[in-house]
Structures are given as structure tokens and as C-alpha cells.
Amino acid sequence: MPGTAAYPLDSVDRTILTLLQADASLSTAEIAARAGASQSSVWRRIEKLEAAGIIQRRVAILDRKKLGLNMMVFAHVKLQAHGQRTLPAFEDAIRRFPEVVECHTLLGETDYLLRVITRDTESYETFFRKHLSQVASVQFTNSSMAISEVKSTTELPLSLLW
């Protein structure tokens, strides 16, 4: 949570998190062996890390291109106004669009940055015309198509913690 103190982690916790970030399907026994701890200790630690919200969920990372989702677009969005109703209304609308896989609030010339995944340019155009441009408070958008992915990871830089 923003503004809260970091959760205290020891070296075993950091090892567990590093291993789970790389492969969430590892068994407790495998993690214990690599972390130099007992299975029961690792299980308890994982439970605590989940309860504390450090581990939010365990997921499979899918290859979007192998699924035919070849288009990745970054869309900067500027809203007409920033009222108490405008921002939540925009954010609620964005949450309903499955094509939007990330939405970030920005400081600067634009208000939001969206990462949008579609099959192709035609699919993005359909999304843009039928959905994004129809959100009432949108003043303008600037979309940039990614032509390649140089780096893409879900792993946090845990080495910065020690």
C-alpha cells in the first residue's frame, strides 16, 4: 500500500518470493529445498505472505502471440474534466473493456496510459471506435503501436530490497 512501511522480509522470504516469481507452480518441497528451510516453514511463510497481500495471486503467464493476440497498443488518454464523478466514471468504463490489460494514472500532459491487447490493427480500430472513443469524458487519445517487445517481465526487482 502506498505510504505504508515495507513488510519485513528475511533472506528465506526473499528466496521464496524470488522462486515463486519465476515459477509459481513450484511445490512447497521444491521451494523448501532451494531456500534451505523445512516444508512446513515454507508453507507457513507463503501463507503469511499471502495474508499480508505480498503474494496477491498465482497465475500462468500466457504467450499472447501464440494465442493470436498480436497487437499491443499504448494509448495515452486525456479527459475533458477531472471532477469527482469524471475520474471514477472513466475508470469504471475502462475496467469493463477486456482489451485493456493495464491502466495507469499519470502526472503530465495526459491523464492515463492504457496498455491494450487485440488481434490486429482492425481489432484495435474497432475497440477504439466502439469503446474507448465513446467514453463520455475522453477529450483525446494518442495511440502508439508496439512493434517489438525488448523486455517484458512480471518479476519485481527483489534484489533492490537487500
Per-domain residue ranges of the chain: 11-60, 71-145
The span from the CA of 21 to the CA of 28, in Å, is 14
Q: Which pLDDT does position 1 carry in this prediction?
A: 39
- Record the pTM: 0.88
The correct answer on CATH 1.10.4080.10 for the domain covering 11-60 is: no
From the first residue on, what is the mean pLDDT of each consecutive set of 10 residues in the chain (162 residues)?
A: 67 96 97 98 98 95 97 98 90 98 97 98 98 95 97 93 76
Nearest Cα to Cα of residue 70 among 127, 125, 153, 148: 148
* Identity of the residue numbered 42: V
- Architecture per CATH, domain 71-145, reads as 2-Layer Sandwich (3.30)
